[in-house]
Amino acid sequence: MSDAQSDARAQILGGIRRSLRRGEISGEARQTVEARLAAPPRGPSVARAQLAQPAKVDLFCQWAETLNATVARVGAAEVPGEVTAYLMRSNLPANVAMAPSPLLEGYDWPSQKMLSIRRGRGEGSDQVSITGAFAGIAETGTLVMASGPDHPVSLNLLPDTHVVVLRESDIVGGYEEVWVRLRARYGKNLMPRTVNTITGPSRTGDIEQAMELGAHGPRRMHILVVRD
C-alpha cells in the first residue's frame, strides 16, 4: 500500500471513529483485534452435517437436487462424457466456455470429438460454462467458488447453464470448514478477491411469490460429483 493510500485510509477510518465518538485505538484494543485475526474463533456447527465423509457427500447431493440443481456422481474418467451427454439430454449446444483450471485440464476432454471448448472468462454470448469449485457444503447443498486466474467470476454468472465439477474430497460439513480451508490455501493476506456461495440455479420469488429460475444468473446447474 502506498503512502497516499495509507493516508487516505487513515482519514476514512478516523472519520468513522469520530462519527461514532470513539478515540484512537488503544494498544490493548489493537492487541485484541490482532489476536482475533491471528486465531479466528470458529462459529457454530450444524449437527446435521457432522457426518462421515460418504454421508456428507450424500447429504450434499440431496440438498443440491432439492434446490433445483441436477447431480451426476461419476468417476474421473467419466467426466468429459457426462458433460457431453448432459448437453445432448438438455438439447444444449456443444460449445462451452471453460475455466482455465489445472484441475479441469486433468480430464480427457479431447475424447469428446463433438465438444468445442473455449478457455477463459465468460462472455455474453456463452450459453454453457464449465468450472470447478473450491468446496461443496453438505449442510445446504451450496457450492463455494474462489475467484482467480483459473476461475473467472463471469463463468458463474453469465451463461444460462453452469456445469460444475466437484470432487468428493472437497465436500465439507458446514460453512466454518470452508473458511478454515480458504485460510490454509491462500493465507490470510492473500485471500481471493471474490468468494461466491451458490446454492442451486439462480431464482427469485419476488414477482407474485412465483418461483422463477434464471433471475440473476444461470437457470440450470448440473453438478458432477467426482469420486475420489
- Domain positions in the chain are 3-38, 47-226
What band does 41 get if pLDDT is binned at 50, 70 and 90? confident
pLDDT of residue 162: 97
Q: State the cell numbers at 197.
A: 456461495
pLDDT of residue 32: 80
d(CA 94, CA 87): 7
d(CA 154, CA 28): 43
What band does 13 get if pLDDT is binned at 50, 70 and 90? confident
- Please say whether the beta carbons of 155 and 217 come within 8 A: no
Q: Averaged over 48-58, what is the pLDDT? A: 93
d(CA 226, CA 104): 12
pLDDT of residue 187: 83
- Tell me: pLDDT of 36 over 60: yes
Residues contacting residue 73 through CB under 8 Å, at least 6 positions apart: 61, 225, 227
DSSP β-bridge partners for residue 73: 225
Q: Give the model confidence (pLDDT) of 165-177 as tens digits.
A: 999 999 999 999 9
pLDDT of residue 204: 63
Q: How many C-alpha atoms does 133 have within 13 Å on its Cβ side?
A: 30
Regarding the domain delimited by 47-226, which CATH topology (the fold level of the hierarchy) does it fall under? Answer: Rossmann fold (3.40.50)
Residue type, position 187, single letter: G
Closest listed residue to residue 151, CA positions, set 196, 201, 106 = 196
Q: Give the model confidence (pLDDT) of 115-156 as tens digits.
A: 999 999 999 999 999 999 999 999 999 999 999 999 999 999
Q: Please tell me which residue, 27 or 213, carries the higher pLDDT value.
A: 27
Q: Averaged over 107-119, what is the pLDDT? A: 97
- Please say whether the beta carbons of 228 and 179 come within 8 A: no
Neighbours of 89 (CB within 10 A): 10
Q: Averaged over 60-73, what is the pLDDT? A: 97
Distances from the Cα of 167 to the Cαs of 115, 143, 163, 187, 193, in angstroms?
Answer: 22, 11, 13, 22, 23
- The greatest distance separating any two alpha carbons of the chain, rounded to the nearest whole angstrom, comes to 67
Closest listed residue to residue 155, CA positions, set 93, 218, 199 = 218
- Quickly tell me which residue has 407474485 as its cell: 208
- Please say whether the beta carbons of 59 and 174 come within 8 A: no
- Quickly tell me which residue has 491462500 as its cell: 186
pLDDT of residue 23: 65
